[in-house]
Structure formats: structure tokens, C-alpha cells
Structure 1
Amino acid sequence: MRRPALLLLLLLGACTTQELRPVPAEPQGFEPWTESTPVYRFAPGDRLRVSFLLTPELNETALVAPDGTISTRASGSVPAADLTATELEASLTRASRRVLNHPIVTVALDEATGSTVLVGGAVRLPGPVPLRGPRGTLAAIIGAGGFEADARMNEVVLIRRAPGNRPMLRLVNVQGFIQTGGAGAATLDGDVPLQPGDIVYVPKSRIGEINQWVDQYLNRLVPFQKTFSYAVNRSSAVPF
């Protein structure tokens, strides 16, 4: 008679443990992920073609300076870094009215030498990584010195601007991509092609809190219009 009672107590205890078991935190405040290419924002080092429709003699090629400004004969020096082509055209048009009555300005990207992605977390050399042509998540991490020993390679965080300057987030299973050599479904989820301005964060095993990193670094570099939090952390009660 004691065995059924003991078995029942064990089952009830297991159910209680399952119900109280901690679960991973989920992202809050992010936009739904889309694969659409984000609007390009200029960066220091980019070479731009600035054209004046009514006064083509003022057309010129200009570099975005290290301080983020661009200078033309008609406009003088104006901020350019982190602006889209449409935003910079409006700024140059306003500034050029000092010498032109009705300026019509267009801006085109001639060479994106300033394109970078920001890589942080459990990597050996965190910071901006140049983005030269097509490049995936793994290549960017290698460009940042590779993984630290305690990196959670199967839950790399990728943050990208969505329309409206809001952030969107997805997890990337780089470990699965490495183990399969890029074959099968891991190709889609393990080495996502990056876009200029993307942010790659490699959390640490068991505890990889990115909120503190966002507060310390991301808010200073990327002026997202955001209210969000995300914790890639696991309680020790959850198996790996």
C-alpha cells in the first residue's frame, strides 16, 4: 500500500517542479523581424556624389569625415553620419540656400568604405568590424577575433534597424552552422547575411545579460527610438 502512495507523491513533486521551473526571458519591445534590406545610413569614410540639378558646375564628390560631417562648396560643412540619402539631401538643400536661390540636391553613395557592423559580448576583440561586400554572422565574429571560451555560440543575438528606426532582433545558431558545414536548415538560421549597421552580440554560457551592454555601449552608438529589454540567460535549474 505504501508503494502507490509513494509513487503518487513523486509524480506530484515532479509536476510541481516542472511548473516552477524557470524559463528563458523573451525579447520585449522589438519589432517583428523582416528580411527586407534596411535603408542605408552614411558612415565616416563613405564617398558620396553630390549633384545640383540646376547648377551642375557645383557637382562634386565628397567624403564623410571622421567627425561625421560632409563639406561641399555650396553647403559648407553639414552632419552626414547616420543619415539616409533623403535626410542628407534635405540638409544639404537647406544649407545651400546661403548661395543658391532654389537648390535641388541629390546624393548617391559612390563607395561604402565606412560600412561596419558592431560585434560585442564574448568575442576577443569587441568593436566595429568593417563590412566589405557580402558577409555573414560568422565572418563578422571571426573579424572580431573569434569566440571566447565561454561563448554561447548557438544563441548569438542579431539586432537590426527596422523601418521607423526601431530595433528588431533574432537569434542565430552559429554553432549549428559550423557543425553542419553550412548544409541543411542550419544555413538559414546559422549564418545570416549582415547589413551595414547591424549589431551582433555573443552572450556567455549560462548567463549572458545584454541589457547592461546595451546601456553601456549601444545607446551611445546607435540612437534607437526604443524601449526594450532582452536577457539571454538560463537558470542553473534548466538543462543545456
Structure 2
Amino acid sequence: MFTRLFVLSALYVLVGCSTPQGPAMHVLAQEINATLYEGLDRLSPGDSLEIKFSYASEFNQSIKVQSDGRCSFVGLGPLLVGGLLPEELQDKLKELYGVMLEGRDSTLSVIVVQQAPHRVFVMGEVADPGEVILPVAADLTLLQALAIAGGPNNRTSWLGNTLLVRFDPVSKVQSSWVLDIREEHWGRGDTVLLQAHDVLYVPNTRVDDAGLFLDSWIRRMIPFPYFTDLFIPRGN
């Protein structure tokens, strides 16, 4: 009797683990692709900047956006600049330095000297987890990113419950989708396109459980400071 119960319990677990939790990726491809950010490039960690003043050269400086999205400015200290347009940072600095300069002309320019490569993060049950650099003049699909990361671990990955997390730099809204990206869905319908700072997570457990792990893990491990406090998977 015990053996029978054990076998039935084991079968139940196996069936539960093999059942996809999310819809096939091509079903949600249009919805996901509609959230792609098509605006101007915003400041990101790794970007190198020059701040040049027209009439207060003692405040000229060359700085780099740090992993937490901040820069330390002469006389001002650290400020969060990640997610801003260069023009937005320029206006912000002009206002702050205007107070410091006490009536002197605070006209300045923010110049992006070098832009850090845009990247996505493929994590979890893949052969080579980590950063994947986005091509400069071409799209990167979800499956291409998965392949660059070495593909899924055949024995432990749960492709039917893959998680995609995306942050909108304008609205500051974080979205996420649970997707079935098993091989049987490859080449069917539209494909999912990725954008800078997307996180693709291939779990070995239900995303209900993985979500708790990712909520703290993403903010601790990934150099992008704009994720919201609330982690709500969509699409399941």
C-alpha cells in the first residue's frame, strides 16, 4: 500500500512539473512586442559622460554611470541619473548648480562620450547564464538569446514556465510574462523580441516559487536600479 501511494505521489509530481504554466510564446508575442521601448536612448550603467560648463569650468567633469544608476557630481554628490535622457539630466544639473553658483551662469552641456553596450540577462537553468549583448543594428529574439546562453539544461530546465521580465524606462512600470518556450513552439507565429535590460529566467520550479526568489535576486545581482518593489507575473 505504501509503495502504491509513493508511486502515485511521484507520478503526480512529475505530471505537475511537466505541465506548462504559461501560454506558448507565439500566443503572447504581439502583446510583448507592443511594449518594446522605441524612444531615445536613456542613460544606463556603464555610460561615460562629460559635463561641460560654459562659464564655470571648475565644475567640468568626466564621469561614468555606476551599476546602481548613480553618478557622483562635483559639489553635489551622488545623484540617480539612470533612466534619464541626457537633456533631462542637463536641465536637472543646471537647476542644482544654479543654486550653488549663486547667480552665476550655470549653462552646461551633458555629452555621452561612450555608451555602454545594451544587454539582456538570461538566467536560471541554462548552460551559460549571464549577460547577452544586444546587436547594435539588429533585433534579438528570445530564442536567439537562449541559444547564446548555451541553451537550456535538458535535465533540469522547465521551459514551459519561462519568465520574461521587462522594465519600461518611461512609465517606470515593470511587466512580466510566464511563457511556454518548449521546442515544439519554435517557429510558430510571431517571435518574441527582447530589449535592453530584459531578464529571461528559465526555472526548475514553478514560477510562483521562483517569483519570490527573483524579486530579491534581480535587484541584488543585475546592475539596473529601476525595478519596482512589486513582482507580479502576468500571462498565467
TM-score, length-scaled by structure 2: 0.60
> Secondary structure of 1:118's partner?
strand
Decide which of 127, 132, 136 is 2:141's aligned counterpart. Answer: 136
Call closer, same or farther: CA 1:177–1:160 in 2, change over 3 Å. Answer: farther
Residues 207/64 of structure 1: CA separation in 2 closer, same or farther (3 Å cut): closer
In 1, Cα distance between equivalents of 2:128 and 2:81: 24
Q: How does 1:202-213 map to 2 (within 5 A)?
A: 202-204=202-204, 207-208=206-207, 209-213=209-213
Contact kept in structure 2, 1:131 and 1:196, CA below 8 Å: yes
Please say if residues 176 and 234 of structure 2, whose CA atoms lie closer than 8 Å, have aligned partners that are also in contact: no
Pick from 223, 230, 235: which aligns with 2:233?
230
What is the DSSP-based 3-state SS (H/G/I as helix, E as strand, rest coil) of the residue aligned with 1:210? Answer: helix
Report the counterpart of residue 151 of structure 2 in structure 1. Answer: 146
Counterpart in the other structure of 2:8: none
Looking at structure 2, the residues matched to 167 and 67 of structure 1 have their Cα atoms a distance apart, in angstroms, of 17
Residues 115-147 of structure 1, C-alpha deviations (whole Å, 9 max, x = no match):
332322222343443334243323333443431
Instruction: Give the SS at the match of 2:166.
Output: strand
Give the CA deviation at 1:95. 4.6
Rounded to whole Å, the distance in 2 between the matches of 1:106 and 1:171 is: 43
Tell me the distance in 2 between the aligned counterparts of 1:59 and 1:117.
33
Report the Cα distance in structure 1 between the residues aligned to 2:183 and 2:38, rounded to whole angstroms. Answer: 26
- Equivalent pairs counted in the alignment come to 197
Which residues in structure 2 correspond to 1:1-240 (within 5 Å)? 24=21, 33=32, 34-37=34-37, 40-50=41-51, 52=53, 54-55=54-55, 62-65=63-66, 68-70=69-71, 78-80=78-80, 82-85=82-85, 87-97=88-98, 98-99=100-101, 101-133=104-136, 134=138, 135-149=140-154, 150-162=156-168, 163-171=170-178, 174-176=181-183, 179-180=186-187, 185=189, 188-189=190-191, 192-204=192-204, 207-208=206-207, 209-220=209-220, 221=222, 222-230=225-233
> What secondary structure is seen at the aligned counterpart in 2 of 1:79?
strand
- 1:44 counterpart SS class: coil
User: How many percent of aligned residue pairs carry the same amino acid?
Assistant: 21
Query: Which structure has greater helix proportion?
Result: 2
3-state DSSP of counterpart to 1:119 = strand
Q: Output the amino acid matched with 1:160.
A: R
Note the alpha carbon deviations across 1:72-128, whole angstroms, 9 max, x for none: 6x6665435533125533443245333473424453544332533232222234344
Task: Give the number of the structure with larger relative contact order, counting CA–CA contacts within 8 Å between residues 6 or more apart.
Answer: 2
Query: Which runs of 5 or more structure 1 residues have no equivalent in the other structure?
Result: 1-21, 27-31, 234-240
Shift of 1:62: 4.3
SS in 1 for 2:89: helix
Bigger Rg over Cα:
1
Task: Say whether the 8 Å CA contact 1:71–1:77 is kept in structure 2.
Answer: yes
Deviation at 1:37, TM superposition (A): 1.0
CA-to-aligned-CA distance 1:18-50 (integer Å, 9 cap, x gap)? xxxx99589xxxxx8533416644333213354
Query: Residue 178 of structure 2 contacts residue 234 of structure 2 at CA under 8 Å; is this kept in 1?
Result: no
**Residues 112-121 or 54-63, more deviating:** 54-63
Tell me, in whole angstroms, the C-alpha distance in 2 between the residues paired with 1:78 and 1:110. Answer: 20
Q: TM-score, normalised by structure 1?
A: 0.59
User: Is the 8 Å Cα contact of residues 50 and 110 (structure 2) preserved in structure 1?
Assistant: yes
